[in-house]
Amino acid sequence: MRPTVHDIASEAGVSLATVDRVLNGRPGVRRQTIAKVEEAIKRLGYVRDVAAANLAKRRIYPLAFIVPGGPNSFMRNLEAEIRAAEARSLIDRTSIRIERVTPFDPSALEQTLSTVDPETVCGVALVATDTPGVRAAVERLIAAGVGVVTLVSDLPGSQRTHFSGIDNIAAGRTAGRLIGRFCSDHGGKVLVVAGSMTLSDHMHRAQGFAEVLESEFGHLKIVGPKETNDDAARVEQEVEHALAGDKDIVAIYNLGAGNRGLIEALGKHRGRRLSVVGHELTAHSRQALGDGLFDAIINQDCGHEVRSAIRVLKARADGVDPLTAQERIRIDVFLKDNLP
Amino acid sequence: MRPTVHDIASEAGVSLATVDRVLNGRPGVRRQTIAKVEEAIKRLGYVRDVAAANLAKRRIYPLAFIVPGGPNSFMRNLEAEIRAAEARSLIDRTSIRIERVTPFDPSALEQTLSTVDPETVCGVALVATDTPGVRAAVERLIAAGVGVVTLVSDLPGSQRTHFSGIDNIAAGRTAGRLIGRFCSDHGGKVLVVAGSMTLSDHMHRAQGFAEVLESEFGHLKIVGPKETNDDAARVEQEVEHALAGDKDIVAIYNLGAGNRGLIEALGKHRGRRLSVVGHELTAHSRQALGDGLFDAIINQDCGHEVRSAIRVLKARADGVDPLTAQERIRIDVFLKDNLP
DNA sequence: AGATTTCTGATTTACGTACCTCAAAAACTG
DNA sequence: CAGTTTTTGAGGTACGTAAATCAGAAATCT
């Protein structure tokens, strides 16, 4: 049988009240007594029954999710996943608030972060924009004892509790290798389309992509990255312009959003032999993969990211270690055949 | 506030005892009263607090995992993941027993399945071999109210609760497309190496692979599948023999285990330009990918499979629906760059 | 030593559910 | 209609933990 607080009390030769004081870090216990109790805990291998504790504490986990608004399909998917988690909040004792902020506007994010009340919120998950103001707001929350998980886009080197997203350098490298291998026998140019190089994830993808192409696939030369601010119309325009003007383009890597524009442009060049890699599985990109317009999609599972963020924030609030293997977000590679 | 049994009692105008009888399907309640209570439950949106219920019931989930023995790295990884889950069993109220059975021996599996006591075990997870005897044993367990999850290898069309594994036809197709694209400009032969075509997962992979190659990459011809019973030495021998005897081989797909043998053989032909795709990320295959001997690895995350199997079995025991999105096992595609 | 402060023990209530008993009410029998 | 059976109510105890109170013991200080 699993040992209980009663068992440690008698094992340590102290009362239940003292065990409780030690377990919950309440004052009024001598060092030696604390040591006695801790030793008994270790000896019996006691593990606090979190479920029972939560019951007794009437604990709920108030969480805040901050996501960019706007039409970006990926972000809308992400929000849908958060809402799905919200629907389960009764079951897993969470209370989730979703805040939408203006996209590409760090000050709006800062503003929203500063309204988070550390007294009533135990954890925050946000799609981070890496600016000094945002970093400062995050550090403030951490200092106030709030857990902070960065979603999709990280704040490297900050004190955030956890990053729930992918290594974007590795993602860019993966795209580079796919395109390199798909064009292994014929040289040419590769058009790279990005949202904004001020977004760290886009920058990292471009960097990883370039690394691999330069070091291993010298027969391919990069054109771009063309910045489009993730606007589908601008993506279409850039791609259209490049394809029309440069017959040497043999591949396209869209490392940002706006796949819809890319698909539009590709539709007009169906005869042309192109290797195309994009990011994030959405209704559109999935369709394009099925139609053969895209050759591969690099994806991060935003459902996994949301669930993982919640688990990590709850674990932190309980003072428990999360299960690292479970919380690692994969860099998914999807071809036409292994779509989920 | 979340409604409790007390709330439904007063809402339905009945006593706590009656609510309890309805909730737990105990006898001695009139139809109309049951309806009244159920209506109140619906009206208030009551959801049973599983944690509190488990506490009151002193519930533990006794589970049995049945895995093939033998040196197969993937199966040993799988077992390690089960042991890792076992280490957390105190926390999540499970009690996991691991049974190793002789590999490639359906009767041993049947035998072990028949020793499972439906009175003391609430769920079984097994790496299934598809034979009539195994199917019968599984149906027997299901009939006795035990949850059964097939791990890695399924029993299609059976009554098993859930399959925790990948679609192997899709996995084979994925491998086919990778190799097809990697060799898009030059034709040749593709050597296919399998463990045993009597294993349904191997058969499915071979089938999916052939489908894609025939329909979309006609310039590549399949040699094989060569069966090796997943024995590394035999894999080495088959590959060595084929490479030495046939200069037209431009790619190899090992859809079974025994990657170690493949790596050995490849080591002797480092100069030769080959596209190689294998299955399952193990220490060896990871190394081979890093060294450039392999070009891609198709993987199923066995840690995910084990955790998912446990969640599904617990959910079934609680009479709750599992979270389908979370329980889908991905077909991972790993290149050198996106290794976890 | 006595006074004071700091610890500790004993006990209680509560969380939401399960499960038990016993009595009472209601619904059926003949 | 009494007698029987079925249904319902009221109440309690338990699960493992949290949190509180209050009295008493032990340590520290003067």
Q: How confident is the model at residue B197 (pLDDT cuts 50, 70, 90)?
A: confident
Query: Model confidence over A45-72: pLDDT tens digits?
Result: 999 999 999 999 999 999 999 999 988 8
Query: Model confidence over A159-193: pLDDT tens digits?
Result: 999 999 999 999 999 999 999 999 887 888 999 99
**Range with the poorest average pLDDT among A19-28, A105-114, B201-210:** A19-28
Distance CA B18 to C1' D10 in A? 11
Q: pLDDT at position B186, please? A: 80
Query: Model confidence over A223-234: pLDDT tens digits?
Result: 878 999 888 999
Q: Is the pLDDT of residue A1 over 80?
A: no
Chain B residues in contact with A335 by the CB 8 A cut-off are 174, 177-178, 333
Q: Note whether B184 contacts A: Cβ–Cβ < 8 A.
A: yes
Decide: A116 and A140 in contact? Cβ < 8 Å: no
**Mean pLDDT (whole number) for A298-321:** 95
Q: Is the pLDDT of residue A300 over 80?
A: yes
DSSP A222-279: EEEEEE-TT-HHHHHHHHHHHHHH-TTEEEEEE-SS-HHHHHHHHHTTTTS--EEEEE
Taking CA–CA distances from A273, the nearest residue in chain B reads: B184
Q: How far is B165 from chain A (nearest CA, A)?
A: 13
Record the tokens describing residue B169, joined without a space: 């036809």
Q: pLDDT at position B177, please? A: 96
Q: Is the pLDDT of residue A94 over 90?
A: yes
Partner-chain residue, chosen from A88, A170, A340, that has the shortest CB–CB distance to B338:
A170
Decide: B193 and B255 in contact? Cβ < 8 Å: yes
Taking CA–CA distances from B166, the nearest residue in chain A reads: A338
Beta carbons within 8 Å of A247's beta carbon, 6+ residues apart: none
Neighbour tally for B57: CB within 10 Å = 9
Q: pLDDT at position A263, please? A: 94
Q: How confident is the model at residue B138 (pLDDT cuts 50, 70, 90)?
A: very high
Q: Which residues 27-46 of chain A have a CB within 8 Å of chain B?
A: 45
Q: Note whether B1 contacts A: Cβ–Cβ < 8 A.
A: no
Selection from B220, B200, B206, B151 nearest residue B175 by Cα:
B206
| Contact yes or no for A336 and B90 at CB 8 A | no
Query: Model confidence over B51-69: pLDDT tens digits?
Result: 999 999 999 999 999 999 9
Residue B162: helix, strand or coil by DSSP? strand
Q: How far is A159 from chain B (nearest CA, A)?
A: 23
Residue B161 amino acid letter: T
Q: How many CA atoms lie within 13 A of B84 on its CB side?
A: 16
| Contact yes or no for B340 and A330 at CB 8 A | yes
| Contact yes or no for B325 and A331 at CB 8 A | no
Neighbour tally for B271: CB within 10 Å = 6
Q: pLDDT at position A116, please? A: 94
Taking CA–CA distances from A330, the nearest residue in chain B reads: B340
Q: pLDDT at position A79, please? A: 97
Partner-chain residue, chosen from A182, A208, A337, that has the shortest CB–CB distance to B212:
A337
Query: Model confidence over B82-135: pLDDT tens digits?
Result: 999 999 998 889 999 999 999 888 899 999 999 999 999 999 999 998 899 999
Q: How confident is the model at residue A12 (pLDDT cuts 50, 70, 90)?
A: confident
Q: How far is A7 from chain B (nearest CA, A)?
A: 16
Q: pLDDT at position B188, please? A: 87
Residue A15's φ and ψ, nearest 5 degrees, are -90, 165
Q: How confident is the model at residue B314 (pLDDT cuts 50, 70, 90)?
A: very high
Query: Model confidence over B233-254: pLDDT tens digits?
Result: 999 998 999 888 888 999 999 9
Q: How confident is the model at residue A98 (pLDDT cuts 50, 70, 90)?
A: very high
For a pLDDT cut of 90, what percent of chain B falls above it?
A: 76
Q: Note whether B57 contacts A: Cβ–Cβ < 8 A.
A: no
Q: pLDDT at position A180, please? A: 94
Decide: A300 and A165 in contact? Cβ < 8 Å: yes
**Mean pLDDT (whole number) for A82-88:** 95
| Contact yes or no for A338 and B337 at CB 8 A | no
Q: Which residues 311-340 of chain B have a CB within 8 Å of chain A?
A: 323, 325-326, 328, 330-338, 340
Decide: A65 and A126 in contact? Cβ < 8 Å: yes
**Mean pLDDT (whole number) for B131-149:** 95
Q: pLDDT at position B67, please? A: 96
| Contact yes or no for A337 and B176 at CB 8 A | yes
Distance CA B148 to C1' D7 in A? 38
